Amino acid sequence: MSSIGRVDRLWRQARIATMMAGGAPFGLIADGAIAARDGRIVWAGPMAALPRDVDSAETIDLGGRLVTPGLIDCHTHLVFAGDRSREFDLRLEGASYVEIARAGGGIASTVLLTRAADEATLLRETLPRLDALIAEGVTTIEIKSGYGLDGDNEIKLLRVARRLAAERSVTVSTSFLGAHALPREFAGRPDDYIDLVCRDMLPAAAALVDAVDGFVERIGFTAAQLRRVFTVARALGLPVRLHAEQLSLCGGAALAAEFGALSADHLEHADEAGVAALARAGTVAVLLPGAYYFLRETQLPPVELLRRHAVPIAVATDCNPGSSPLSSLLLALNMACTLFRLTPEEALVGATRHAARALGLAAEAGTIEPGKWCDLCVWDVEQPAQLAYRIGFNPLERRIWRGQ
Ligand code: NIG
Ligand code: FE
């Protein structure tokens, strides 16, 4: 029997969904214990195998409750000002997302409001969205820029994203999304804007950035334009991810694969060649059922192809004001099952193990095993599948971030 020695905290009588691959469904341990030291898990396993020498400063009996890894929302646009409820009205009257964007609304309207807001205002407007996610057990969140679209405003968004990590007990991973939409001062000159992104904006923001994102789409940029941005990202040593094949097939999946992207996101219109390329590159497919639902899309992502090619699937909220004003990751899990036909286990893997991989954090988070951050959720449910099954119900009993 192994030895543990002194630990800060020991949780006992837990039903643990470790979310590790290869064992029982959900990596389940029926009657388990978890020990943490210095914010990391040092031991996790069945109670019967708990080393006798464990000496814990604090021991917590969970009474058989379910424990999962802390949830990871690996795709959000959390920091923005204002809302787009007027566009919601327009869409319900029949206008499409693309038509609204082409008429100067859409992302551009949020850019106007966000440029006008200072950091304190953005922080104040963003915290309720973050708190809603945290209340459901999110312990790691990815946050993109992309509503500034000039050097100073993109940096302002990234600084607010970093501030959020100081205000709350949550890990924030940032993505630079300068290539999100064409700012109106560059109307008709997309290549000039991409020049600015490559020469000035991305290098200036790099210190605040964990990855580089983009939007390859008819209302976004071409794959050739994003290839230039990704080439700069590579030179700066930054990993990439991409909004790919959301509204049409534009070659985003192939581009993401070409650069060994951490993730390719949305993918409703991806074809088999794109999926096969993602598989070869080891890129995670991030599915965003909130955007599919809110835009009333009908083209389903190619889930069967993703499974057949063994592409890891993650699920996220895409929390943003235009296509997915969703601040519930549990609802995203339910939607991934009801709309995309993921199994509850695939959905939960998608918000834990695969979401960690999509952020390049597979060694730190996403499963309950020794060495990883001690980020845990304790739930008042019997079965892990219930987390994806119920709608509009939050069974979180407690949330532990870095062992606390
Ligand atoms: O992920 N696709 C591009 N970006 C966002 C939408 C942003 C917006 O409409 O404000 C998305 O769907
Ligand atoms: Fe998005």
Q: Indicate whether 181 belongs to any domain.
A: yes
- Reported as a single tens digit per residue, the pLDDT across 242-261 is 999 999 999 999 999 999 99
Give residue 379's domain range. Answer: 6-69+367-400
Average pLDDT over residues 98-113: 96
pLDDT band at residue 2 under the 50/70/90 scheme = confident
Alpha-carbon gap, residue 274 to 254, rounded angstroms: 5
Residues with CB under 6 A from ligand 1: 77, 106-107, 110, 215, 243, 246, 291, 318, 320-324
> 65 near 15, Cβ under 8 Å?
yes
Q: Do 324 and 379 sit in the same domain of this protein?
A: no
Q: Indicate whether 182 belongs to any domain.
A: yes
Q: Return the ligand 1 atom nearest residue 295 CA.
A: 12
Residue 239: predicted pLDDT: 99
Q: Return the ligand 1 atom nearest residue 80 CA.
A: 10
Q: Indicate whether 294 belongs to any domain.
A: yes
Q: Do 23 and 88 sit in the same domain of this protein?
A: no
Q: Do 51 and 81 sit in the same domain of this protein?
A: no
- Reported as a single tens digit per residue, the pLDDT across 344-361 is 999 999 999 999 999 999
Q: Do 217 and 352 sit in the same domain of this protein?
A: yes
- Name the residue among 138, 216, 141 with its Cα closest to residue 177: 216
Residue 292: predicted pLDDT: 98
Q: Indicate whether 233 belongs to any domain.
A: yes
- Reported as a single tens digit per residue, the pLDDT across 72-89 is 999 999 999 999 999 999
Residue 335: predicted pLDDT: 98
DSSP per-residue codes, 35-100: EEETTEEEEEEEGGG--TT-EES-EEE-TT-EEEEPEEE--------S--HHHHHHHHTT--HHHH
Q: Do 224 and 332 sit in the same domain of this protein?
A: yes
- Reported as a single tens digit per residue, the pLDDT across 135-160 is 999 999 999 999 999 999 999 999 99
Q: Indicate whether 191 belongs to any domain.
A: yes
Q: For ligand 1, atom 6, which residue shows the shortest CA distance?
A: 323
Q: Indicate whether 1 belongs to any domain.
A: no
Q: Do 268 and 322 sit in the same domain of this protein?
A: yes
> 269 near 246, Cβ under 8 Å?
yes
Alpha-carbon gap, residue 332 to 354, rounded angstroms: 15
Angle at 197 between CA 196 and CA 198, to 5 degrees: 90
Residue 383: predicted pLDDT: 95
Cα 375 to ligand 2 centre (Å): 25
Residue 1: predicted pLDDT: 54
Q: Do 176 and 258 sit in the same domain of this protein?
A: yes
What CATH number did the domain enclosing 162 receive?
3.20.20.140
Which residues, other chains included, contact 244 with Cβ-Cβ below 8 Å and sequence gap of 6+?
216, 250, 252, 253, 255, 256, 264, 265, 266, 267, 270, 274
Q: Indicate whether 18 belongs to any domain.
A: yes
User: Which of 91, 102, 107, 247 best tests ligand 1's pocket when mutated (most atoms within 8 Å of CB)?
Assistant: 107
Q: Indicate whether 347 belongs to any domain.
A: yes
Cα 381 to ligand 2 centre (Å): 31
Q: Do 57 and 181 sit in the same domain of this protein?
A: no
How high is the mean pLDDT of the chain? 98
Residue 229: phi, psi to the nearest 5?
-65, -45
Alpha-carbon gap, residue 266 to 216, rounded angstroms: 11
Average pLDDT over residues 195-220: 98
Cα pseudo-dihedral 63, 67, 70, 74, rounded to 10: -150
Cα 322 to ligand 1 centre (Å): 6
> 180 near 146, Cβ under 8 Å?
yes
What total number of domains does the chain contain?
Answer: 2
What CATH number did the domain enclosing 49 receive?
2.30.40.10
Cα 320 to ligand 1 centre (Å): 7
Q: Which ligand is nearest to the CA of 297?
A: 1
Alpha-carbon gap, residue 226 to 194, rounded angstroms: 8
Q: Do 245 and 375 sit in the same domain of this protein?
A: no
Q: Do 38 and 97 sit in the same domain of this protein?
A: no
Q: Return the ligand 1 atom nearest residue 217 CA.
A: 2
> 256 near 281, Cβ under 8 Å?
yes
Q: Do 20 and 151 sit in the same domain of this protein?
A: no
Residue 116: predicted pLDDT: 98
Residue 369: predicted pLDDT: 98
Cα 174 to ligand 2 centre (Å): 13
Q: Do 148 and 247 sit in the same domain of this protein?
A: yes
Average pLDDT over residues 206-233: 98
Cα 148 to ligand 2 centre (Å): 15
